[in-house]
Amino acid sequence: MKLPYLYAGRRAVVRTEHLGGLCLTGEWRNGELAGGDRLSTDGSPGLCPRVPPLTEGQYDAPQALWAGSGLVVAAGGQLFYNGAPVGTVSAGPKQMAAVGTCVVIFPDKKYIDTVTGQMGDMEAAITLSGAVFESGGIARAGVDWPFAVGDGVTITGCSEYEQNNQTLIIRNVDENGLWFDDGVFDAGTEPGPVTLQRRVPDLEVVCESGNRLWGCAGNTIYGSRLGDPLNFFVYDGLSTDSYALETAGGGAFTGCAPYSSHIVFFKENMACKLYGTRPANYQLMTVRIPGVRRGCAGTLWNDSEDLYYLGAMGLYAYAGGVPELLSDRLGPIEGSAACGCVWMGRYYLSAVVGGRPGICTYDIRRRVWLPWENDTQAVGFGETGGQMRLLTRDGRLLLLDAGSGGEEWSAELRPFRDGTGRSSRCTSVVIDAQASPGAWFALDWAAREGAWQQAALFDGRRQGLRTVRLPPNRGSGLRLRLRGCGDCRIRAVERRLSVGGAEE
């Protein structure tokens, strides 16, 4: 018996995509993002716009930011404390840290006293002609000595009594001279100029831990005297002494930070962990783990027993063992001057992601990346007064989560993967969204690499599901983009497909 030939009919398929975070690798899932701007996970499990920042100030040629008991900004060769200029610094990026009431600035070797608001030099020196050495000091009346009791000073320039060239601790300063321990000098008058200097190493990375200033110069780790960030060469046999340790090779140190019961000094492909509470029991352990990328010490941030930083392969979380890579879904992260911070459960990373400079956020609990602001990069973050601030490279001082008013936002989804594409087409899209009064949002679509076309525009007067009819298209490679202005919550996107037919 001869039967008629039957053509396959078409059938309707509904697919609901719950919106995810950024995925810039080839392993994306339907619902994940290829890009966007000014997004937040506050509307999880969907997406919503961020709370805008508040612009507090504007600086020319910004260089660095530190925040703690006050706000220190280096910009245009000037140093500002709580908005007031206090002195000058050299051009280029800065390393800052605070010990007690002193905020130190490297490589300038300057400090700000946060109580008086005054700026000073960490190093001090004086040159004497015809210095008269006695057994325990240098006799010279009427000299305004730039040192204090307890300072470690290095004496150089002695040619007649070369054994007097040494580093010693000042025991007393009075109108008659500078006094050390008895018997440390050969007595006599030195005819040539003699220089006394309180030295500070040329630290390339710095941090505070245990009320000491720590840093690295070359392959040497330095720790200041306890509570005194101006003295690195005081060796008196006490628990408060300075500390220095030469390490093996492996390149320059790229960052340092306290973590739990130790301090971690990073290189690009290794780390040195310093344990102990005083010079007598300090112990150093070296481990081969991914380190901090050169120039990215500003990404180091300690939060909730995790230390975050940008390494060669991306953003890592260090919890005492092998660091965990958190940014594998972003692909390579570029930039040699990145910085970041943790605020309200998110890590803010300023770097070049997906070939585009900007600031992205990583929701630590939900493990989701989102674009926070495109084409904006920061020179530093800092928390003071229970609020987080960032200084952008175009000079804006921003206060996070403190602004108001509607901002334009966008979320571009990755092309959908639905198997066969020639025999399927997306007939409509249903958007589960909520928009506040005065807000609006739109849906755009594009086929593969085609230009964006607006499919629908909605305002906040009606809530619930919105259905959008799409022009004829093939489902494989369909791209969708949501954009809007004001407060919106996008919970899910439902695609209705027509699948089958003669081509199936």
Q: What average pLDDT does this structure show over 226-251?
A: 95
Answer for the pair 272, 250: CB distance below 8 angstroms, yes or no.
no
Indicate the pLDDT class of residue 5, thresholds 50, 70 and 90: low
Answer for the pair 41, 366: CB distance below 8 angstroms, yes or no.
yes
By mean pLDDT, which of 87-91, 412-416, 500-504 is the weakest? 500-504
Residue 184 CA to its chain's centroid (Å): 47
pLDDT at 241 over 80: yes
pLDDT at 503 over 50: no
Architecture of domain 54-120+201-399: 7 Propeller (2.130)
- Residue spans per domain, the chain: 10-34+409-500, 54-120+201-399, 124-198
Q: Which residue has the tokens 């003295």?
A: 231
- CATH T-level fold of 124-198: Elongation Factor Tu (Ef-tu); domain 3 (2.40.30)
- Provide the CATH number for the domain formed by 10-34+409-500 in this structure: 2.60.120
Q: Is 432 exposed, middle or buried (0-12, 13-18, 19+ CB in 10 A)?
A: middle
pTM: 0.93
Convert the pLDDT of each residue in 413-471 to its tens digit.
998 876 545 567 788 999 999 899 899 999 999 987 789 999 999 987 777 789 999 88
Convert the pLDDT of each residue in 346-376 to its tens digit.
999 999 999 999 999 999 999 999 999 999 9
Q: Which residues touch 498 (CB under 8 Å, ≥6 apart)?
A: 10, 11, 12, 13, 424, 425, 427
